[in-house]
Each structure stands twice: as structure tokens, then as C-alpha cells.
């Protein structure tokens, strides 16, 4: 428990492991966003394709 308290009280600069965790979280957020956006773009393209084919 003291280790956790010391971790949150530590105000020194970020260490490499903390940068790695931050980078991993940012990467996950970007991948999730691009995946969701890609799905929406794909649906929009399919809707346009269907309108072109049916008219």
C-alpha cells in the first residue's frame, strides 16, 4: 500500500514506463476511433453505391 501512495505522491519527471503506458493508451484510442470512423464511412459508401445501382 505504501508503494501506491508513494507512486501518487512522486512529482518527479515521467519515466520511460509511464511514457510507454501513455503511448499505449493513446494508440488504443486512435485505433478505436479510426475503426469506428471506418465503419461509418464504409456504410456511407455502401448507401451511395446502392442508390447509384438502383437509379
pLDDT for 1-55, tens place per residue? 888 888 777 766 667 888 889 999 999 999 999 999 998 999 999 999 998 976 5
Q: Which residue has the cell 479510426?
A: 34
Instruction: Write down the pLDDT at residue 55.
Output: 58
Measured distance CA(55)–CA(51) in Å, rounded? 6
Whether the model clears a pTM of 0.75, i.e. scores above it, the answer is no
- At residue 15, the pLDDT reads 79
DSSP string, 18-29: HHHHHHHHHHHH
Chain centroid offset of residue 15 CA: 22
Amino acid at each position: 500500500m505504501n508503494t501506491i501512495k508513494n507512486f501518487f505522491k512522486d512529482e518527479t519527471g515521467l519515466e520511460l514506463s509511464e511514457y510507454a503506458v501513455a503511448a499505449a493508451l493513446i494508440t488504443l484510442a486512435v485505433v478505436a476511433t479510426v475503426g469506428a470512423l471506418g465503419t461509418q464511412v464504409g456504410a456511407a459508401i455502401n448507401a451511395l453505391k446502392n442508390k447509384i445501382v438502383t437509379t
